[in-house]
Amino acid sequence: MVVAVVTDSTAYLPTDVVARYGIEVVPCYVVLAGRSGREGEDVTPEDVARALSSRGQKVSTSRPTPGDFVAAYRRLLAGGADRVVSIHLSADLSGTWDAARLAAAQVGEHLVTVVDSRSTAMGTGFAVLAAARAAAGGATAAEVAADANGTAARTRTLFVVDTLEHLRRGGRIGAAASLLGTALAVKPVLHVVDGRVVPLERVRTSARALSRLVQRATEAAGGPGAAIAVHHLAAPQRAERLATELRQAIPGIREFHVSELGAVVGAHVGPGAVGVVVAPADEPPPGDDEDPETPEA
């Protein structure tokens, strides 16, 4: 059985990895300066960072259309795939999963399996990679989807933003809204839990926030064999510092990616955002994702 793997552009997979595994990437859309463009093709992270830093310029995003997914699925099936597994960012953060589900119903749900990663960025990307590797090894569609779901469930996504305003405007912060009133006094460390962005803890400086990202990521890795990704928007120096400290703190990293966030996620976190995604080799300790919000002493 030949299983094709599809994702959307918010997985932010390295281009060489996409090419190596033949992963189909369906782009989301970004509306910038009155024009709509495809993420990664027509609109770059630099375009978004520049617009968000300019007074009066608005950036909005939208999902791929069901028709975009239908076209991709039919092309892959016509090209020799027997089944398609389509893996996307959290349905609580975007309508992308729903668009893929509608497309699957048109093409045939016996042919297309749609997976909600309950995450975003490389939180989705590592699930896609697990699926692509399983498919390359000859796994069935059910096995490919199971590998994607298992990896997504184990993966931790943590990040720090310069301001919560962009998340607030886009309606993506959920429980983090409680921090808006003190956003100038603290630097919230956020994470993605069951598909939603929620606060993890509050610290008082950017330096302390980066330090906590390293500590939390090290705990999430749980030992050798973890895969790590560092993301940023218009903050390459902070990202490189974070990457260096993670390499020193976490033993036996099996793969490491550093990349700038694309336009869609970047539009919601804003310039200066940095984050880390950890896919541990094995299951994390029980209750690891239940960590309550912890203010800095």
Chain segment 116-131, per-residue pLDDT in tens: 999 999 999 999 999 9
Helix, strand or coil, per DSSP, at residue 14: coil
Least Cα distance to 213 among 236, 242, 179 occurs for 242
pLDDT in tens, 180-209: 444 555 677 888 888 888 778 878 788 888
To 10 degrees, the CA torsion angle through 149, 154, 155, 157? 110
- Of the two residues 176 and 29, the one the predictor is more confident about is 29
Tell me what the mean pLDDT of segment 158-175 comes to: 63
- Cα 215 to Cα 248: distance, rounded to the nearest angstrom: 11
**Per-residue confidence band for 292, with pLDDT thresholds at 50, 70 and 90:** very low
- Token pair of 124 as six digits: 């989705």
Helix (H, G, I), strand (E, B) or coil at 218: helix
Q: Which candidate, 280, 274, 272, places its Cα nearest to that of 230?
A: 274
Q: What is the pLDDT of residues 209-236, one digit of tens each?
A: 899 999 999 999 998 999 999 999 888 9
Mean pLDDT over the full length of the chain = 85
How confident is the model at residue 169, as a pLDDT?
57
Report the pLDDT value the prediction gives residue 4, as an integer from 0 to 100.
98
pLDDT at 36 (0 to 100): 85
Q: How far apart are CA 145 and CA 185, in angstroms?
A: 43
Whole-number pLDDT of residue 35:
80
Question: Average pLDDT, stretch 259-265?
Answer: 81
CB proximity list for 112: less than 8 A, separation 6 or greater: 73, 83, 84, 85, 86, 103, 104
261 sits in which H/E element = none
- Residue type, position 152, single letter: A
